[in-house]
Amino acid sequence: MIARLRFFIFLYVLSLPIVVYAQGVTPATIDQTLGRSGQKTGDVYRVGFPRTDLHVSVNGLAIKPGLALGSWAAFTGTDDHAMVMGDLVLLEEELNPVMAQLRSSGFEITAVHNHLMEETPKILYLHYMGHGPVAQLAASLRAALAVSKTPLEKPAASAEEPAPPAWVKSVEDAVGRKGTFKGGVLSYGVPRGDTITMAGMPMAPAAGVGEAINFQAADSGNVATTGDFVLTADEVNPVISELQAHHILVTALHSHMLTEQPRLFFMHFWCVGSPESVGGGIAAALKHVSTK
C-alpha cells in the first residue's frame, strides 16, 4: 500500500509545471560587448565610462572624472527582457550625433541638460532609456558611445588605492556618514526612503534614483562638492534654502526620467570650501530628504 502511494505521488510531482526563476541579466554578456566589467548591486548591473579623455575645470579647479565626468549604464531585468538607463557625459559637438545613434536603436531620450556651471569646456549630460534583449542593448549603447570620444578600450587594472587623505575623514565626520574613496573622490550613494516605480516596477537606487554626492580635494585645504539630490516636489525648496544658507550653489534643477512615480526632481549643486563647512551643509540638506 505504501509503495503504491509513493508511486502516485511520484507521478503527481512529474505532472507539475517546471518554474525557472530569472536570475537577472548576465554580466558576462554585457562585459563582452562593452569591453569592461561593471558592478552588481542587487538586481542592477552598472557599468561606468569615465571621461578620462576630457580636461574639464571649474574656475581653474581641474575636475576628476569621478567627481562629475562619469558616464554610466544600469542594466536590470533578464537577458531576454532587459532595461538599461543612464547618463552620458558629452561635449556639445558630440550631443546630437550620439542622440541620433541612440534613437536609431530605439532608445528613448529622457533629458538633456547641464549639471555644472562655468566649466571649461562646456559639458552636457544626456539621459536615456532602452528596452530589449540585453546583448542588443549593450551593442547599441557601445555604438552610440563610439560616436563620441568616450574611451572604450578596456581600463587598465586599478592600482591599489592609497590611504585616504585627512580631508576624507573630516568630510565624513561632517556629513555623518561613511563614503567610498576611489580615484581621489569621496562618493556617497544615499538611497531614498520611499519606493520609486517605473511602469509599476520598483527601481533600485543604483539605477539612478539615489542621492549622489561627491567630494574631491581643492586648493588651500578646501574640498569641492557636486552631485545631485533626488527630490520629491515638497522637498525641492527646503533643500534649496538649506543649500543657500550654507553657501552651496544650486546649478540645475530638472528631471532625468519621464514616467517615474512619484515624480522626481534632480537638483545639482557646487561648492568649494572647508571640509567641515561643505560637509555640514550637505548633512543639513539631507535632513530635508526622505532617506534610509
**Report field, pTM of the whole predicted structure over 0.95:** no
Instruction: Locate the domains of the chain by residue range.
Output: 24-154, 163-292
Is the pLDDT reported for residue 21 higher than 80? no
Q: pLDDT of 84-115, one tens digit each?
A: 999 999 999 999 999 999 999 999 999 999 99
Q: Does domain 24-154 have CATH number 1.10.357?
A: no
Q: Does domain 163-292 have CATH number 3.30.70?
A: yes
Q: How many CA atoms lie within 13 A of 52 on its CB side?
A: 10
Output the pLDDT for position 23.
65
For every residue of 120-183, which 3-state class applies, written as one string?
Answer: ECCEEEEEEEEEECHHHHHHHHHHHHHHCCCCCCCCCCCCCCCCCCHHHHHHHHHHCCCCEEEC
Q: How confident is the model at residue 157 (pLDDT cuts 50, 70, 90)?
A: confident
Output the pLDDT for position 177.
97
Is the pLDDT reported for residue 51 higher than 70? yes
CA distance 213 to 227: 5
Output the pLDDT for position 184.
96
- Asked if residues 268 and 251 have their Cβ atoms less than 8 Å apart, the reply is yes
Q: Say if 24-154 and 163-292 have the same CATH topology.
A: yes
